[in-house]
Chain A
Amino acid sequence: MSETLNKGQIRAQVETYLMNTSTDVNSLSWSPTELDSYINEATFYTQQITQYYEEFSNIICTASVSTYTGPANAYQYERFTWDRDFLPQTNEYELDRDDPSWRSASPNNPFRFYFPQMAQQYQIVPYPTPSQDGISFIASQEFGAVAAFNTGGMNTLASDPFTQANGPLNPAKWTGDSSLTYSALKVLNNQCVPQVGNNLDNGSAMVYTGIVWPNNQWAQFTVGNLGSVTQPWENDFQLVLRSNSDLSNCYAMEMDMNSPVGAATSEITLNIYFGDNVTPFSTPIDLVNLVINSGDVFLFTVVGNVLSMYQNGNLVAPPFVDNRIASGSAGIFENTFLGAAQASAVINFTGGGFSSADSNYQFIQETGIVIGFADTNGSLIGFRPDVVANPFTLISGELGELQVYSTDELNLGVCFTRIPDTMVLDTDTPQLPPNTHFALVLYALMKCFVREGEFQDLQEATEWFTAYGDWMESVLENKARRWPTRVKSLEPFEEGSLFAKRLQAVGYPMQLDLKPSYGA
């Protein structure tokens, strides 16, 4: 019960106040979706009031290109630099006034900037137009991020290219499902395929028992044949990690081929089987409308409690953390439903563990994972966690790994107040300090009673907004007292209500007049 509240906890508190806690969703006066939208609005409004959340960004400059696009998540810009030098803002009027030929000026080092238009993503024009390309780094073989320094590299301990006579898989390596729920895989034309004619529920699965698998393990195969699929049936093949003998406890990376195969119709899911080898205990990742081609290489890894899925070397989703299954073997599951004219097939199975830890590198949140930059002089920020994929997830060191990195060197550096990211999962936490989180409950309650309908009660809404304002006054007082020796104003006056002042700047959250002094 920390004061750091995530979206689910905020909604639970709103529902408790509303006594809107029935398990029958249809009986609820305010649906979870509606409440979530209020909580997200509350987060944005509170950010407008406090302007707490700030961010840096770089915009890579290209020689002789005049116009650039600002970050999509900028709420208000605070400072621009070019090559780490402050760029004062100007506008077309000043430029026309001071230098009538500025439009034909040749590219050079920029010393001003202006906004030619201020749409959702501002356009930014540095003046003069940059004459050289900015420094940028792109993930590549040279600079590419290493998956996990703390676990070392991948060791191959198991392999089966399936180049053998048609028939059962090598029994020295593979063992079938001990519960007999699934039939055994077989080799056909040097490819691993399921038994033909399975019913709709089951498939073919085997566990690689030719080695003792380390707990940190990986498995990989190549798609040999996508097979053919007639809707509504699908083909699928899965990489299995940490499996027991009947596959009732295991992690599975499942690739589903829907019709037409080879088009953007495929699906990749992460299934956790726990106590049941037919129905997953949970499916925390489900990616749809993907393209899977013959020859694609799929890799599935588990290091500690972090599960990662790769297609052709690229992470397909943010790594997922799960603590349920600690050990077991890798394996393969394949299924061809009735109606599929040809089974999908895989080749070149490999698997193994990870070499011993490299103690020279240690992940800390401030510095991220070092990925080999020769030149960090131009960067105001040395390293920072990668928040591109999921800004709310900072669980694992691997998630802090940088894929793309750019510096302020010969580029536009931007400092701005952020638009908070929209919270989707219940575990997403507002990007505001914890002392504002409870205020979001009060704001959402106000929104509940403002909404048109049988429960509309503007008096009630006003009361909740007053409660929100009271809490926010304390938050803003706290904000004003941060760094007390920092010069914030040369005005020799104590400020009055900080919240009222911000309300004047931002406005009320709706057209309805909720100003408390106007109460009946």
Chain B
Amino acid sequence: MSIQNYALSNFRTEVKTRLNEVQNDGLWTTSELNSYINHAHLRVVMDSRILERDIAITVAANVSFYSLPPDTLTPQWMYGPSLWGTLRLFPSFLLSLDKQYGGMYQWEKDSSNQSQVFVPFSYDKFILWPAPSAATTVNLHDVPMPATLTLDTDTTLLPLVAQRCISIFAAYLAMLKSDKQKAKNFKNEYKQRMTSVLELTRHQSKDRPSIMAPGRSFDRSMANPSIRAFRNSRRYY
């Protein structure tokens, strides 16, 4: 028994079927459909965040400002190298660092050392604090951008349940060119299918809930320097 795994040509065939333009190119050219399929591929990864990986980023001594890998879509967490005990690095804010020790700590003048926190900056940068005192690597866990499907035989890393959504969303993007009402139907179908993808993958999520639940029974928040500084600030007591 084999399990279906969509290649680019399979996606295109399905999209053409949905558009009722099965045979030759008419309103939509092959390259146009390929571009919609790749947009849809990205959109499914954006909505499902299924693909994840660990990637090393080289850091240099005394340099605190770094770029994320160019194909990072959603950065999630970082941990240090074995040189730093592979400890987790916590995300923080510039203003949160400013608030440390009641705002009296001149953190920007700190000497280089083993980095403890990082500050996400802009959409593709981050700052390590303190600046590393030695050249090493830090490890980023992220959701990467999907690889572009170029050849007709190219396949996606997404599981089949998510692959089905690609052709639906690509059909939506293509139909926008012709009939917005029909396009809406495809979009609605996509949203329904995506719910089922998220439902199936929910249990695999390793993220903590994004809301802060009241109660202190399992409160490790003080381990996060960002929160510690926030709580140490007199202004908020």
Contact = CB atoms under 8 A, between A and B. Distances in A.
B75 A482 contact: yes
Interface of B: 31-32, 34-35, 38-39, 42-43, 46-47, 49, 58, 60, 62-67, 73-77, 90-92, 94-95, 98, 103, 106, 108-109, 120-125, 127, 131, 145, 148, 150, 176-177, 180, 187, 207-208, 210-214, 224, 226-227, 230
B188 to A, nearest CB: 11
Given A365-B67, A435-B42, 7 more contacts: A1-B34, A53-B122, A367-B63, A376-B62, A382-B63, A432-B123, A434-B42
A114 interface: no
A478 B73 contact: yes
Contacts of A53: 122-123
A383 interface: yes
Contact of B148 (A3, A383, A471, A483): A3
| Of listed B35, B103, B123, B124, residue having the most chain A CB within 10 A | B123
Contact of B212 (A16, A432, A490): A490
A488 to B, nearest CB: 8
Given A17-B176, A433-B123, A433-B124, A487 B150 contact: no
A86 B65 contact: no
Given A1-B34, A85-B106, A380-B64, A460 B180 contact: yes
A480 B210 CA distance: 9
Contact of A484 (B31, B76, B214): B76
B120 A1 contact: no
Interface in A399-443: 408, 415, 418, 432-435, 438
B184 to A, nearest CB: 9
27 contacts: A1-B148, A3-B38, A3-B145, A53-B123, A54-B125, A55-B122, A86-B95, A366-B66, A367-B60, A380-B64, A380-B127, A381-B64, A382-B64, A384-B65, A433-B124, A434-B42, A435-B42, A435-B145, A467-B176, A477-B46, A480-B210, A483-B77, A484-B77, A485-B77, A485-B91, A487-B212, A491-B211
Contact of B211 (A1, A81, A494): A494
Interface of A: 1-3, 13, 16-17, 19, 50, 52-55, 78-79, 81, 84-86, 364-367, 376-377, 380-384, 408, 415, 418, 432-435, 438, 460, 463-464, 467, 470-471, 474-475, 477-478, 480-488, 490-494
Contacts of A481: 49, 74, 207, 210
Interface of A is mostly: loop
A485 B176 contact: no
Given A471-B43, A474-B46, A474-B47, A86 B148 contact: no
Nearest to A84: B108
Q: Which 5 A-B pairs have the closest CB atoms?
A: A84-B108, A486-B91, A86-B98, A54-B122, A52-B123
Contact of A13 (B35, B74, B127): B35
Give the interface SS of chain B, mostly helix, strand, loop or mixed.
mixed
Contacts of B226: 486-487
A375 to B, nearest CB: 12
Nearest to A2: B148
A200 B211 CA distance: 76
B53 to A, nearest CB: 15
B7 to A, nearest CB: 15
B106 to A, nearest CB: 6
Nearest to A9: B35
B139 to A, nearest CB: 14
Contacts of A433: 73, 123-124
B180 to A, nearest CB: 4
A463 B180 contact: yes
A464 to B, nearest CB: 8
